[in-house]
Structure 1
Amino acid sequence: MVSAVPDCSNSSLSCCFIKRNWFRLLESSKGESFPGKDAVYRFLNHAGFAWRRFLTSLSVATVRKVSTLTSVDRDTVFIVDDSMFERNRSKAVELLARFKDHATGAYYKGFRMLTMGWSDGHTFLPLDFALLSSSKSAINGMSENIDKRSHGYKRRQESLRSAPQVIASMLDRALAAGATASYVLMDSWFTHAPLIGEVIARGLDVIGMVKNDNKRFLVQGRKLSLKELYAAAFPVVSNKRGILRCIRTELAPDIPVRVVFVRHRTKKNEWLAILTTDLSLSVEDVIRIYAIRWDIEVFFKCTKSLLRLQKEFQGRSYDLLISHTTLVFSRYILLAWQHRQSTDARSFGGLFYLLCDEVGTLDWAVALQQLLDHINEIATKAGKKLSALIQRQLQQWIAVLPSYIKACLPISCCES
């Protein structure tokens, strides 16, 4: 099993760029060079692999490389958000639960994919994730055969914890691994006093959207709702259109915050509230930094549309879902690094299809090299005169090849 791990991991990472599923790939002429389907699924279903450590190490190493390309004055952030991980056609998937999609109001079967990533406003890199289930709306429970000492068991236990608890653990792991940021950006579902207090305790500031719910803000001894806070806020004079008001308040004792009110982009008669715990930021900087949060939405779209998240592997094991998601996130890190190194304005979609073409080009180059090796082998077995003739003809043929084809050939072949 251990000896097959590199082959299985490399094949699983590159499978998406070949534009074929495992069945079609193994049925093709390339199938002999890939591990068998059973070997791959045993690899993905194994509960003993530390997938989280792999993803975090890969992400942090890439963050360090990206940081060398980033100005020291540029703001870096952690972004926290969740997205649907749908398994609507499944019945026997481990820890399957029912959730409500708050965007559409419809219910779905699957998991909440809670994700934390790092961004500098140009490059987003996923650091950690958790596929959250629910003990209240669970359809299936945990497998009884899992080894309680394994990484898989710990991930299963984590899936039943609340999102704020998981986010705090994610921050601890990211900071311990060496990732650094100044702010934690979050949507309105997470901007609650207990979680904000946990973030502040770790030396980070929070910038997040505020939902108009039963929160109360302390202003001069009075507890105000968000609407009442808007009425008490002072108008802002700014060159930026859409910035309405701003006020300093307390979300809870010992949690001073500043709330900035901006006009709703599509509903002009409504406003949105953005909260920050960094009181030194200007209102323009609060909005500018919070806009980086959109990077994680692009990430979710890319992984589901291009990198086959939820679609590539089908299984009932929770371990397979974790390993599959980790591999998809690793592919995104590859695309993000390629995008950061590029000097043109190619999108992630363009880079994805470019890498697919490169995989095809590599296959063609391997076939050409095998042909040359075969010719050289025949030449060495022939007589001296025939061998010299073959070598001369081969050199003449190589000399007239286009430069882009020569680039695919080793120097040794061109000089032989």
Structure 2
Amino acid sequence: MFLMNSIISNHSEDKKFNFTINNFFKINKLGHILKQCNFRKEKGFSCIKIFKFIFMLVFSGKNLFRTLDTGKTLEFSKDVVYRFLNSPNFNWRKFLLMLSSSIITNILKPLTSDDRVNVLIVDDSLYSRNRSKSVELLARVRDHVENKYVKGFRLLTLGWSDGNTFLPLAFTLLSSAKEKNRLCPENQTLDKRTNGSKLRKEAVLKSPDAMLKLIKRAVEIGIPASYVLFDSWFTYPKTLIQILNLKLHTIAMVKAMPKVYYDYDGKKLNLKSLYSSVKKRRGKAKILSSIIVGIGTDKDGNKIESKIVFVRDRNRSRQWLAIISTDTSLSDDEIIRIYGKRWDIEVFFKMNKSFLKLGKEFQCRSYDSMVAHTTIVFTRYIMLSLENRNSKDLRTVGGFFYQCCDELQDIQLCEALQIIISTLKDILKEKVLLSKEIIDLIIDSFIKALPCYIKEKLSLFSCES
């Protein structure tokens, strides 16, 4: 009996999960987006079928090898999967950007008030291939956690957040800008006109240049955001000015670099000198001070100003941190609050590496296959992020929520007006000593003088009275 209940329960859960995935593919029109991004096969299985098979692998608890090893009959062989991943013609970057843009515009934006601050977040994370020897564009990259060099890539990622939901927009698997740090060359036989060839060129850019390319694409497609958030690795005055030229403000952590100067009080000072020259707040204030500095000039020679906020380092009581904002109209507290949204991307990286098999599910050697698999992993996260939003935000239930909301507001207004008029009646009886007929006449005259939209709300009160 227990076994039967377990089988029924598992079957029910499987059906529910399959429905969730099918619904995600259908509502967001993944098949249509794939076609728009050059996903076509001359013969054989459709791209959407292969994409969906790879997409669901992680949720089965098996990789491709284990799935084939179970003896389960598949419609296609593993060669079909690897050919799909290795194709340089598919535009994976366009697919991810179009999918996230569609979800933001059609699903998340209607749920977000106009007052909420939407942001773009940029960060990089280690994409380790430490046991590999012949992976295309493999390089020696710095692991900032372990403080040593390892073999792999730097996964530079651009995401969008409204404070509740984070969605990845684009990414670049960065090799090394220095040729001497690249352990393996790129595929020289590849057609230079393909999407794969263009991605390889960006893989050897310096990280600030690659970041600006990602932000520019997000701006061109119309992603709604007011600020760009990133940590101190990208914070240079030149970069802040370039982002301003894209009509976006920046809020970022500032690193105390001795050769990076800011204009303050007619002098050029580095960050440590700035901190020494400003007056600090007394006591154990979290915000120590804030100042307006110049970071350069625009094309017309006008001075570009930014605001630097010095805050206490909670891990080291005698140390401080600095956050810079190119929007000088923001208060100190608001700058810190908005910058706090940058943590969303750290959760995103943790989720992809620990649970969604980023860099672990396929040990491919071509650069195209790594880009393809990373995009599929990011798509898994998008689905989970939407499901998380649906489970927490009641407004995602649909129009029924708004109908209930409107009805609730109407009842509250009706009750409030009823209380006001009943109180007015009691006061007229006690204080003015008028008859019931005269009081009713005064109330009727009062109601007739009200605007029409209020009189409609009073129809319930009139019926009850």
1:199 aligns with 2:240: no
- How far apart, CA to CA, are the structure 1 residues paired with 2:278 and 2:382? 42
Which of 338, 347, 353 aligns to 1:304? It is 353
Q: Indicate the residue corresponding to 2:427 in structure 1.
A: none
Corresponding residue SS for 2:168: strand
Give the distance between the partners of 1:204 and 1:109, measured in 2 at CA.
35
Q: Alignment partner for residue 385 of structure 2, among 336, 349, 362? A: 336
Q: Which residue of 2 aligns with 1:396?
A: none
Deviations, residues 77-129 of structure 1 (Å, cap 9, x unaligned) = 00011110000000000000001112321111011110000001111100000
Is 1:41 aligned to 2:82, yes or no? Answer: yes
Which of the numbers 144, 148, 160 marks the counterpart of 1:102?
A: 144
Q: How far off its partner does 1:167 sit?
A: 1.4
Contact 1:234 1:247 in 2 (8 A): no
More helix by share: 2
1:189 aligns with 2:233: yes
Query: Are the aligned partners of 1:188 and 1:211 in contact in 2 as well (CA < 8 Å)?
Result: yes
Query: What is the DSSP-based 3-state SS (H/G/I as helix, E as strand, rest coil) of the residue aligned with 1:140?
Result: coil
SS of corresponding position for 2:159: strand
Is 1:121 the counterpart of 2:163? The answer is yes
Please list every run of 5 or more consecutive structure 2 residues that lacks an aligned counterpart in the other structure.
1-40, 298-302, 395-465
Equivalent pairs: percent with the same residue?
45
Q: Pick one of 219, 227, 237 that aligns with 2:264.
A: 219
Question: Does 1:256 find its partner at 2:298?
Answer: no
User: Partner of 1:24 in structure 2?
Assistant: 66
Offset, 1:37:
0.8
Does 2:320 correspond to 1:275? no
Residue aligned with 1:165, SS: helix
1:166 deviates by: 1.3
What is the deviation of 1:321? 0.5
Name which structure has the greater RCO, CA cutoff 8 Å, separation 6+: 1
AA of the residue aligned to 2:361: E
Deviation for aligned residue 1:235: 3.5
> Cα–Cα, structure 1 residues 182 and 237, in superposed 2: closer, same or farther, change >3 Å?
farther
CA distance in 2, matches of 1:179, 1:270: 37
Q: 1:179 aligns with which of 215, 223, 231?
A: 223
TM-superposed CA distance for 1:7, in Å, is 1.6
Structure 1 SS opposite 2:275: helix
TM-score, normalising length from structure 2? 0.71
Q: Which amino acid aligns with 1:242?
A: K
| 1:212-251 paired onto structure 2 within 5 Å | 212-214=256-258, 215-235=260-280, 241-251=285-295
What's the counterpart of residue 10 of structure 1?
Answer: 52
Kindly state the Cα deviation for residue 241 of structure 1 after the two structures are TM-superposed: 4.4
Which residue of the other structure, out of 164, 168, 179, is the alignment partner of 2:212?
Answer: 168
Question: Structure 1 stretch 183-192 or stretch 136-145: which is displaced more?
Answer: 136-145
> Structure 1: where are the runs of 5+ without partners?
346-416
**In structure 1, how many angstroms separate the alpha carbons of the residues matched to 2:231 and 2:180?**
24
Match of 1:250, as an amino acid?
A: G
Whole-Å separation in 2 of the counterparts to 1:15 and 1:265: 42
1:339 & 1:241 partners in 2: Cα distance? 36
Shift of 1:344: 8.1
Q: What is the rounded CA distance, in whole Å, between the counterparts of 1:271 and 1:167 in structure 2?
A: 27
Instruction: From the superposition, tell whether residues 133 and 73 of structure 1 become closer, same or farther in structure 2 (CA, over 3 Å).
Output: same
Shift of 1:216: 1.1
1:321 aligns with 2:370: yes
Q: How many angstroms does 1:34 deviate by?
A: 4.6
Q: Following TM superposition, by how much is the alpha carbon of 1:221 offset from its aligned partner in structure 2, in angstroms?
A: 1.7
- How many residues of Structure 1 are paired with residues of Structure 2 in the alignment? 343
Asked if the contact 1:7/1:35 (under 8 Å) is kept, the reply is no
CA distance in 2, matches of 1:34, 1:73: 50
CA distance in 1, matches of 2:119, 2:393: 24
Answer whether contact 1:236 1:246 (CA < 8 A) is retained: no
Amino acid at match of 1:222: K
Distance 1:209 1:13, change over 3 A: same
Decide whether the 8 Å contact of 1:206 with 1:278 is kept in 2.
yes
TM-score normalised per structure 1: 0.80
- Please tell me the residue identity of whatever aligns with 1:139: L
Tell me the secondary structure at the aligned position of residue 32 of structure 1. coil
